Amino acid sequence: MKFFLTALFLITSMKTFAFTVESGEPKFPTNEVSFDIAGNSCSNIGLSVNELQDFAEEAVDEFWNKVSTCALELKRGSISTADVSSDDATSQAGLNSLYDKAEENRILIGCNSNATLFPANSSTLAVGTIMSGSGGMRGVVLINNTATTPFTTMSKRDKLATIAHEIGHAFGLGHSSDPIALMYYATGAKIQEMLSIDDFDGCSYLYPHKSPGSCGSVAIVDKDNHDLGSGNGPGQQALMAFVIGLLSIFGLNRFLVKFRQ
């Protein structure tokens, strides 16, 4: 019984992650990242360029900018003169072209009707990626703007979630295996009202808050006035966790013995 309880305690103390990051763990070197909107038409998705900018701002505010444990702050940028309507993100030449159109440490969002990227009746809503080069890190989000785009039949909430999902790729996140996560690899029939804990973990992993420093602490001293340290080091924390675990197991075991009596 003691072995079982010890194993149970250790298992429940562990945390697993479902999120992934893009290959090589690319990320922006700054925590403040602006998004710009490409200037070409978005007529097939029923949004003007200015409306798309408002959508993108609402998407980041409703999702990513609410993660208190993630230092990333996504900000509204400008309307770019770039035209991303025909770029093919499936080819290296197309990615190079998109990289040149985006700006350093910024995300470029635009509408695209390239037939190779979004073939007729494609169910793909949008794509997003982060790229590195001699000009620094740059992110791109392309929304399906073909004549048969499924984007137009979605609810506003689903459109916001779609844009937020692709922006997640554009700042470095991969897909999650958690079905309730925004970064889950398939949208299915779910309604994405908010981020999951896994989304929080992914964003916080890539863009962690730096330590805010210390307000000072009092050293722990025994009765013979021997300094035992501040009590905040990993050694003390590990020992405390071990002691608490043993006490919990001992107490539960005594309870079970009494219960059987």
Contact 44, 60 (CB under 8 A): no
- Looking at residue 218, its pLDDT comes to 58
User: Which residues partner with 173 through β-bridges?
Assistant: 21
pLDDT for the residue 174 = 95
| Coil vs helix vs strand at 91 | coil
pLDDT of residue 22: 73
Q: For the purposes of burial, counting CB atoms within 10 Å of the CB of 146, is it exposed (0-12), middle (13-18) or buried (19 or more)?
A: buried
Residue type, 138: R
Per-residue pLDDT at 224: 56
All residue ranges of the chain with pLDDT < 50 are 2-15, 226-236, 238-240, 243, 246-247, 252, 255-260
- Number of Cβ within a 10 Å radius of residue 246: 12
What's the pLDDT score for residue 211? Answer: 64
pLDDT attached to residue 10: 38
Distance CA 73, CA 79 (A): 19
CB of 217 closer than 8 Å to CB of 199: no
Q: In terms of residues, how long is the chain?
A: 261
Q: What does the pLDDT look like over 10-37, one tens digit per residue?
A: 333 344 567 888 778 899 999 999 999 9
Q: What pTM does this model have?
A: 0.76
pLDDT of residue 245: 55
Sign of CA dihedral 104, 161, 178, 197: positive
